[in-house]
Chain A
Amino acid sequence: MSDSPALTTYTRFSGCGAKLGPGVLDEALCGLEQPAYPRLLAGFSSSEDAGLFLLDDGLALVQTVDFFPPIVDDPFMFGRIAAANALSDVYAMGARPLTALCLVCYPLKSLGLDSLKAMMEGGLDALIEAGCALLGGHSVEDAEPKLGYAVTGLVDPKRAWRNNTLRPGAALILTKPLGTGLLNMALRAECASEEALNLAQTSMALLNKRAAEILAEGDVWACTDITGFGLAGHAAEMVDGAPCGLKIRYADLPLIPGVEEWAAMGLVPEGTFRNKQGRLRFIENVEALDPVMLDIVFDPQTSGGLLAAIPADRATELQEVMRAQGVFATLIGETGGRPGTVEFLV
């Protein structure tokens, strides 16, 4: 095969936009019970980024799995993004990834072997960069391609970063720009500029490794990574049950160029609507936000950045350190407002 087929034409939804909505998931998991394992620190009943299981004093297993349909057409790039996205949940727990298993669904007849190989190469490239060993995997013949990884890591449970441990006095730092869901729609509608596509691809293929390492040098009060539920959805998980709320400055959000225009044009992905349905109630000032803003903050992200709550007094310094080391870090807000709510300052 000389020219590689465009991967995204084989799929209805893309990247983390293909996720089931949080409302649906809550409903499906509600009432499911298993024995209370004493070593289980975070399981499916929490909304943590990854599962946490105590092995030994001072050592816990971190496990996560993530796979999705193509978000970009280039198979190598898709492989890298799928691996970076799966690894991200481990980094969001402050853990280091150790091993990975590959999950792949693939239409061999229509896409051919070369694309599959390139996808695998892209994934491995990211795993090697993470120092994470690929142990094996499983494949299924499927009309719609999907790729992802189950990643296992280790962390000292006392030092693990959780997403529900927010407390007052924190500043919020975000380590990647927003808008990959809208970008994917714009690509399909042939509205995306090359500049926007390049920025988004670079950002999605980037590991959250360096960002996590720099964060680990100081205090982290709460951390998550921004994926399918969008910035607002993951911020909602952070404030749910917390003794404080979050105030996020809309104007300071780093956006992929073009996203506001795409949202205004009606190129809003399905996942945004599901996200709003599930988490809109956490937003303090919905009526003050125009629909385009809401669609951007609820835009499902693929391989998004880390969202960390750090002591406010060292936030500026941390942002500078990150930027100096090539991490796209932006301070976007701080704790405040009514507990359990997210307010977007406009």
Chain B
Amino acid sequence: MSPSRRVLDARGLACPQPVILTRKALAEGGFSELEVIVNTSSGRENVARFAGHAGCTIGSIEESSEETRIVIQPRVANLSDPTSTESLTEATMPPVEPGIQTILLSSRTIGRGDDELGALLMRAFLYTLTESETLPQQVLLMNSGVTLAAEGSEHLDNLRRLVDLGIEILACGACLEFYKLTEKLAVGRVSNMQEITEFLLEGKALSL
């Protein structure tokens, strides 16, 4: 059971192209190792940094005078590889204790303190969530949290990515009304207190 390897030839491409292609390949999955070939020092540095940032392991970096081969192991090796034995075993096993099902965001920032820092943290959190292996089923937005999903928000990209990953985004209707954003909800759907409460009580929930 040799690990499956995908080779990505990014030679001759200017930055940020090697990183964009690496990101795309990791998102597609279907391998246990990704070998990226680059022939610039900027490509090597950037791809290695991207892999680390995405939580992957760098298996090896082989340098020759012409090119560099970076072997990247996705965060959970084999899980995304349909041909590996491990993933088949995994699939037939009963599901393990489920993680967090619902995340409640009741502010446009994370934590108390400096708002600018709080906004940065929110951005980093949502981005990291899009890259996460374990995902919740719902993200609930209350109070100023609804502004995250309204037109003009800097978080729309990340929230859309979460929707693409199958996560439902629900915004409290009364809160939208209060902030005069009912017409401006750009991602997700309007919800109400009853539904929100049910979700919070139903499974494991986390409030941020």
A binds B: yes
Binding site for B on A (CB under 8 A): 12-13, 185-186, 188-191, 193-196, 257-258, 261, 264-270, 272-273, 291
Query: In the complex, are the beta carbons of A265 and B53 less than 8 A apart?
Result: yes
The interface residues of chain A lying within 8 Å CB-to-CB of B20 are 188-189
Contacts A188-B20, A261-B124; is A267 near B15 (CB within 8 Å)? yes
The interface residues of chain B lying within 8 Å CB-to-CB of A186 are 16
A266 to B123, CA, bound (A): 17
Identify A266's interface contact among B40, B46, B120, CB under 8 A: B46
Identify B154's interface contact among A13, A195, A267, A272, CB under 8 A: A195
Query: In the complex, are the beta carbons of A268 and B157 less than 8 A apart?
Result: no
The interface residues of chain B lying within 8 Å CB-to-CB of A194 are 152, 154
Query: In the complex, are the beta carbons of B46 and A267 less than 8 A apart?
Result: yes
Query: In the complex, are the beta carbons of A265 and B42 less than 8 A apart?
Result: no
CB contacts between A and B, total, < 8 Å = 64
Query: In the complex, are the beta carbons of A273 and B42 less than 8 A apart?
Result: yes
Query: In the complex, are the beta carbons of A270 and B19 less than 8 A apart?
Result: no
Query: In the complex, are the beta carbons of B42 and A193 less than 8 A apart?
Result: no
Give the distance to chain B from A297, nearest Cβ to Cβ, in Å.
16
Chain B, residues 38-67, CB within 8 Å of chain A (1/0): the string is: 001110011111110100000000000000
Chain B facing A: main interface SS: helix
Residue of A nearest to B18 (CB): A266
Query: Is B206 among interface residues, defined by CB-CB distance under 8 A?
Result: no
Residue of A nearest to B116 (CB): A257
The interface residues of chain A lying within 8 Å CB-to-CB of B53 are 264-266
Query: In the complex, are the beta carbons of A13 and B14 less than 8 A apart?
Result: yes
Query: In the complex, are the beta carbons of B47 and A266 less than 8 A apart?
Result: yes
The interface residues of chain A lying within 8 Å CB-to-CB of B51 are 266
Identify A270's interface contact among B42, B47, B120, B124, CB under 8 A: B42
A312 to B20, CA, bound (A): 45
A186 to B157, CA, bound (A): 13
Chain B, residues 113-156, CB within 8 Å of chain A (1/0): the string is: 00000001001100100000000000000000000000010100
